Amino acid sequence: MNKTWIIIQREFLSRVRKKTFLLSTILLPILLAGVYAGMIYFSVKGNDEVKIAVSDKANIFQNELKNNDDISFTFLNDLSAKQLEDSVRAKKYTGYLYIPENINLATDSLNIKSVKSIGLFSSEKIKGRINSALREKKLLALVSRSQLDSAQRNANFTISRLDGNNKPDKAITVYAVGFGSGMIIYIVLLIYGTMVMRGVMEEKTNRIAEVIVSSVKPFQLMMGKIIGIGAVGLLQFLIWIVLTLVLKGVIFSGMDSSPMGQQIPAEGAAAFFSALSSVNIPLILGCFIFYFLGGYLLYSSLFAAVGTAVDEDPQAAQGLMLPITMPIIFAIMIMIKAVNDPNSSLAVFGSIFPLTSPVVMIARIAHGVPEGVSVAEILISMALLIVGFLGTTWVAGKIYRTGILMYGKKITWKEMWKWAFRKN
């Protein structure tokens, strides 16, 4: 039996059998979903409810100010400023606005008083509400209601493409799919890359490397480790995909039978899934797996090379890792741009250059072919990625061969460079 295959099996099984594998497979999506849900929740419902008591003695607003969940105005025109202040102190209201009968809007200022300070967003909203109400009152003094309405009405406005292919608005889904996929590849490259690095460091510091390279070639050991850990990552993805499909099935079947009260979240999820179907799922999934594997092979061999240079000092690992993590971080920055504007020159470059393409290209592909990216560009990018990982694997193999048996010596990038390009 091929020895690389034996090594792959060990690397794969020793990780999959651990409890941490199961735990991370379940917890990682929950954690990610939780973080995103939290972000959305707090950005939508970030503010506390603000209640303002208004005593409008001058009757400027005629008991009309728009209320919503965040900010509400209550008209208590009979009360004096003193009474309003008392009710604010009694915490019935957040603040109060007292408008004296003889106010001159041209010179006097309106003053909202509160016990605690009101947040920046809320106070901006309050200001906007009051100003637009005032503006409308002033305009109504000049023109009739119907004239005002016709002046303020927006023009009918649509954006369409020359080829007449006007699908329903899918921008948000495209954004979510592109950004999400790019982000997952980015996280996975880092997680599995460092896993490879740690594995190599373990073999080196445990001194088992010398035993093993007296049985197999160092290159076989390195490839076995990389492929084995890559298979763990792939298995994790497959589990996630299956779980997503199961979840989808449960939600759709649940929708028919569930009582009325349950329907709202189910409808939200169903809407998400049906929006998802406006994106070319098989294409994205296929490319996702290709770019995940390509990017993983490219980076993990570099991580493996760095692992051989580390000798029992995790601090040194940080320093040596930096040149490898830099391009990944650049890639995520380019990806954020590409998701908004898939055909910008930066996005095109980033999606073809092999060190960034695994993260960037998927964001362009989410926009579809040929809107986001041309077939030719995908093929060039894929070819370059293959050339790229063959190149890094070759270079890393040479560094690995020397570094894995080198002890008691601090290894620098300069030395690794020398090992990589010397003859034999």
Q: How far is the CB of 397 from another protein (least distance, A)?
A: 15
Q: How far is the CB of 189 from another protein (least distance, A)?
A: 25
Nearer to another protein, 17 or 167 (CB): 17
Nearer to another protein, 57 or 198 (CB): 198
Question: Judged by CB under 8 A, which of 207, 326, 346, 387 binds another protein?
Answer: 207
Residue 424 in the binding site for another protein (CB under 8 A) = yes
Q: How far is the CB of 315 from another protein (least distance, A)?
A: 22
Q: How far is the CB of 264 from another protein (least distance, A)?
A: 48
Q: H/E/C letters for each residue in the chain?
A: CCHHHHHHHHHHHHHHCCHHHHHHHHHHHHHHHHHHHHHHHHHHCCCCCEEEEEEECCCCCCCCCCCCCCEEEEECCCCCHHHHHHHHHCCCCCEEEEECCCCCCCCCCCCEEECCCCCHHHHHHHHHHHHHHHHHHHHHHHCCHHHHHHHHCCCCCCCCCCCCCCCCCCHHHHHHHHHHHHHHHHHHHHHHHHHHHHHHHHHHHCCCHHHHHCCCCHHHHHHHHHHHHHHHHHHHHHHHHHHHHHHHHHHHHHHHHCCHHHHHHHHHHHHHHHHHCCCCHHHHHHHHHHHHHHHHHHHHHHHHHHHHHCCCCHHHHHHHHHHHHHHHHHHHHHHHHHHHCCCCHHHHHHHHCCCCHHHHHHHHHCCCCCCCCCHHHHHHHHHHHHHHHHHHHHHHHHHHHHHCCCCCCCCCHHHHHHHHHCCC
Number of chain positions touching another protein (CB under 8 A): 21
Residue 7 in the binding site for another protein (CB under 8 A) = yes
Nearer to another protein, 201 or 348 (CB): 201
Residue 10 in the binding site for another protein (CB under 8 A) = yes
Stretch touching another protein by CB under 8 A, among 6-14, 64-72, 177-185, 321-329: 6-14
- Measured CA to CA, the distance from residue 51 to residue 70 in angstroms comes to 8
Contacts (CB under 8 A) with another protein, residues 213-232: 213-216
Q: How far is the CB of 27 from another protein (least distance, A)?
A: 21
Strand pairing of 112-114 and 50-56?
A: unpaired
Instruction: Round to the nearest angstrom and report the end-to-end CA distance of the chain.
Output: 28
Question: Judged by CB under 8 A, which of 81, 110, 212, 316 binds another protein?
Answer: 212
Nearer to another protein, 208 or 241 (CB): 208
Residue 407 in the binding site for another protein (CB under 8 A) = yes
Beta pairing partners, 98: 55
Q: How far is the CB of 308 from another protein (least distance, A)?
A: 14
Q: How far is the CB of 214 from another protein (least distance, A)?
A: 4
Q: How far is the CB of 311 from another protein (least distance, A)?
A: 12
Residue 417 in the binding site for another protein (CB under 8 A) = no
Question: Judged by CB under 8 A, which of 102, 206, 257, 345 binds another protein?
Answer: 206
Nearer to another protein, 8 or 317 (CB): 8
x/- letters, 311..340, toward another protein (CB under 8 A): ------------------------------
Contacts (CB under 8 A) with another protein, residues 93-132: none
Stretch touching another protein by CB under 8 A, among 136-144, 212-220, 229-237, 287-295: 212-220
Q: Which residues bind another protein (CB under 8 A)?
A: 1, 3, 6-7, 10, 14, 202, 206-216, 405, 407, 424
